[in-house]
Amino acid sequence: MNAITKNKVDPVTLTVIWNKLISITEDMGAALRRTAYSEAVREGDDFSTGLFDRRGRLVAQGNFTPGHLGAMPYVVEHLLARFPEHTLRDGDMICTNDSFIGGSHFPDFFMMMPVFSDGCIVGYVVTSAHHIDVGGAQPGSQAVQGVTESYQEGLRVLPVRIASEHKLNADILTVILGNVRHPDKMQGDLRAQQNANYVGGKRLAELFREVGFAQMDVFIEAILNASEARARELIAALPDGTYSFDDRLDDYGPGTEPVLVCVDVTIRDDEATVDFSRSSDQVPAGLNCYINYTRAYAMFTMRIIAGFDMPQNAGTSRVVHTIAREGSFFNARFPAASGGRASVQMRMFDAINGAMAKAVPEKVRGACTHWCNPNIGSNHKSRSKWLMYDLIVGGFGGRAGHDGQEGIAAVMNSANIPIEVHEANCPVLVRRLEYMADSGGAGEFRGGCAVRKDVEVRDYGVVTLLGDRHKFAPYGLEGGDPGVLSTTVLIRDGVETELASKAVMDVEPGDILSFRLSGAGGYGNPNKRARDRIEADIRNGYVTPAFAREKYGAWEN
């Protein structure tokens, strides 16, 4: 390795080390995915990985879901407060799924492992994964309706030493697995997390040995400083001011009031503050966000809008501050229920995006398709034990110069689960998965189309719905139209019944659950839409001729 002068690090070596740190987190992710058991992790990529320095500062993260990634630094802070450095030994792993300390709902398990080199802790590797069931009222542990406090949402594991000497503690495992509906998958996924930590820890220790303990400190400092400086530069490029936006979630269960989502984003010099305090109070349903989750998506959204081009780490976190009134929907107090909080991530993005539209209209997009995250699983009448965890995602809103993309994961960057995989493992038959014509908001650059997925169940069971935008459409910007509203429909004996977006209900063999997402918002005045775009949309069936005439009338003349 090249020499380092006192205050200045050699840019070549810095590049090399930074790349290595990031590649370790990617390798951890590969190990996790390939040894996992649940469809959520192995097919859906619903997990994340990170590296922290010995002071608990985030140094590098993998290319995974922002919700986990953004919460991770705060989780580590809590875990180290309970298990300070001097109490940790080589091969220990500390684990929690607490909603306040952790990722804001019980299914997310975080596992942290100290990394030793020459008898000292040089850093920490961390994985998080969404476990498909942690017990509680309903299969999948994400019910919104019928849940008022987190004790109904399943097993809560406050920080414990789940492994010593690289072996999972059998007693703790027995307690955990005795409380969940699919212990085989849970155990497999916990082992996959342990395995990923092991892989990452080994490589981090090697890197420290190779580079040297003191020198790594200097490089990490340089990485954080360079990231912070770049983040400040990009935030400073946004015009100063306070920008506000108000939106609403449908409700917090059938028959309840809408939840206000109100944000004020303040840009001052080179720092940003995202404040959700004006939003509703926390609600008696499984939908609340704990502050770690709010921080995660506020950070992510500001990163996208400001155009952060450096990897996420503690340096960038110094520049974006997230606040929300304690006891409000976005900074819930324990034991607020939060199982279905994943449904809110999209709305946090849309709200901040809407606020920033007033500052930098060229950097934002129409509201995205709201996704849905249903769990359909067995109940007391079922012939077998099963759980279908699904991720149904739509498209992006239009933005300056570009139509919204169709069919791509919006905020949380997970993959879909193949139909043939679901059908091989669960008593379901998917009847269709397709884009819906005329659903994207019209605009000079139109919003992405809605997606429809019809799932027929072939056994008795219970479904917990987790959708939104049944009442308040995804907005358009700069004169673009909103996308169409979402509906969730039960088709029983050929009769269609509309369901509330966050209902819990029993299903019978032959029932079809039809998930029809909202379309994404358009951008810019529809009258300015280019003729070839309109024609291509008609040719490809994204838009019908009748809709085109109604929205883009001028084009035919």
Partner 1 sequence: MYRIAFDIGGTFTDFVMQDTRDGSTAYWKVPTSSGSPDRAVIAAMAETLSNGRASRDDIAELLHATTVATNAVLERDGARIALITTRGFRDIVLMGRQKRPDTNDMNLEKQKPVVERCDIFELTERIDAGGAIITPLAVDELDALVSTIERGDFSAVAVMFMHSYANSAHELEVGKRLRRDLPGIPVSLSCEVTPKYREYERVTTTTVNAYVQPIVDAYLGRLESAFASQGIGCDLKIMQSNGGLVSPAVARAYPVRIVESGPAAGVLMCAQVARDEGVDHVLTFDMGGTTAKLGAIDYGEPIIVPTFEVDTIRFRKGSGLPLNITAIELLEIGSGGGSIAEVSMGLIKVGPSSASAIPGPICYAKGGKRPTITDADVALGYLDPDFFNGGAMRLDIEAARAGIAEHIGRRLGLSGTEAAWGIYSVANSNLEGAMRVVSVERGRDPRQHVMIAFGGSGPLRAARLARSMGVPKVLVPHGAGVGSAIGLLAADQKLDSSLTRLIPIEKGAESAIQEVFAGLEERLRLELEQVSPHGSPVVWKRSCSMRYRGQGYEIRVDLPDCVIDEGFMTAAREAFERAYSAQYGYTDAGASMDGVDWHLTALVPRSKVPSWREESRTETDRTVRSRSAYFPEAGGFLETPVYRRNALCSDQTIPGPALIEDRESTTIVLPGDVASVSRNGHLILTINQKKN
Minimum distance between the CB of residue 472 and partner 1, rounded to whole angstroms? 22
Stretch that binds partner 1, among 154-162, 183-191, 331-339, 491-499 (CB under 8 A): 183-191
With binding defined as CB under 8 A, does residue 6 bind partner 1?
no
DSSP 8-class letter at 103: T
- d(Cα 271, Cα 240) in Å, to the nearest integer? 10
Residue number with CB closer to partner 1 (286 or 440) = 440
Residues 69-128 interacting with partner 1 (rule: CB under 8 A): 69
Which of these ranges, 118-126, 417-425, 439-447, 495-503, lies near partner 1 under the rule CB under 8 A? 417-425
Nearer to partner 1, 139 or 286 (CB): 139
Q: How far is CA 54 from CA 122, 224, 312, 341, 352, in A?
A: 5, 14, 17, 31, 33
Q: Are 512 and 454 in contact (CB under 8 A)?
A: yes
Candidate ranges 78-86, 154-162, 284-292, 427-435; the one touching partner 1 (CB under 8 A): 427-435
Which of 65, 127, 373, 514 touches partner 1 (CB under 8 A)?
65
Rounded Cα–Cα distance for residues 180 and 175 (Å): 10
Contact 127, 178 (CB under 8 A): no
Give 500 or 548: the residue with its C-beta nearer to partner 1.
548
Contacts of 208 (CB under 8 A, 6+ apart): 115, 117, 122, 123, 216
> Among residues 19, 87, 164, 174, which is the contact residue for partner 1, using CB under 8 A?
19
Is 471 among the residues that bind partner 1 (CB under 8 A)? Answer: no
Q: Which of 63, 179, 215, 244 binds partner 1 (CB under 8 A)?
A: 63
Residue 491 touches partner 1, criterion: CB under 8 A: no
Q: CB of residue 298 vs partner 1: minimum separation in angstroms?
A: 15
543: left (phi > 0), else alpha (psi -120 to 50), else beta? Answer: beta
Please report whether residue 405 would count as binding partner 1 according to CB under 8 A: yes
Tokens 């039809």 appear where? 514
Q: Is 414 in the site for partner 1 (CB under 8 A)?
A: yes
Dihedral of CA atoms 435, 437, 443, 444 in degrees, nearest 10, equals 80
Report the alpha-carbon distance of residue 523 to residue 398 in Å, rounded: 5
Q: Which of residues 291-320 bind partner 1 (CB under 8 A)?
A: 300, 303-304, 308-310, 312
Report the DSSP beta bridge partners of residue 130: 108
Q: What are the percentages of helix, strand and coil residues in the chain, rounded to 5?
A: 35, 25, 45
Asked if residue 18 binds partner 1 (CB under 8 A), the reply is yes
Which residue stretch of 246-254, 381-389, 408-416, 509-517 sits at the interface with partner 1 (rule: CB under 8 A)?
A: 408-416
Residue 260 or 419 with smaller CB distance to partner 1: 419
Query: By CB under 8 A, is residue 12 in contact with partner 1?
Result: yes
CB of 344 to partner 1, least distance (A): 18
For 451, other C-beta atoms within 10 Å of its C-beta total: 25
| Of the residues 21, 25, 39, 512, which one makes contact with partner 1 according to CB under 8 A | 39
Taking CA atoms, 132 is separated from 36, 47, 184, 288, 412, in Å, by 12, 12, 11, 19, 16
Which of 199, 261, 262, 388 is in the footprint of partner 1 by CB under 8 A? Answer: 199
Q: Residue 229 or 490: which CB sits closer to partner 1?
A: 229
Footprint (CB under 8 A) of partner 1, residues 316-355: none
Closest CA to 130 of 151, 111, 115: 111
Which segment (130-138, 151-159, 249-257, 398-406) binds partner 1 by CB under 8 A?
A: 398-406
Angle, helix 11-35 to helix 183-211, in steps of 10 degrees: 160
Backbone phi, psi, residue 291, to 5°: -60, -30
Chain residues 439-458 in contact with partner 1, contact rule CB under 8 A? 451, 454
Q: Report whether 99 contacts 338 (CB < 8 A).
A: yes
The stretch among 226-234, 252-260, 285-293, 487-495 that binds partner 1 (CB under 8 A) is 226-234
* Strand ranges (E), 23-107: 47-53, 58-61, 93-96
Nearer to partner 1, 287 or 305 (CB): 305
Which of the stretches 57-65, 131-139, 157-165, 490-498 binds partner 1 when contact is defined by CB under 8 A? 57-65
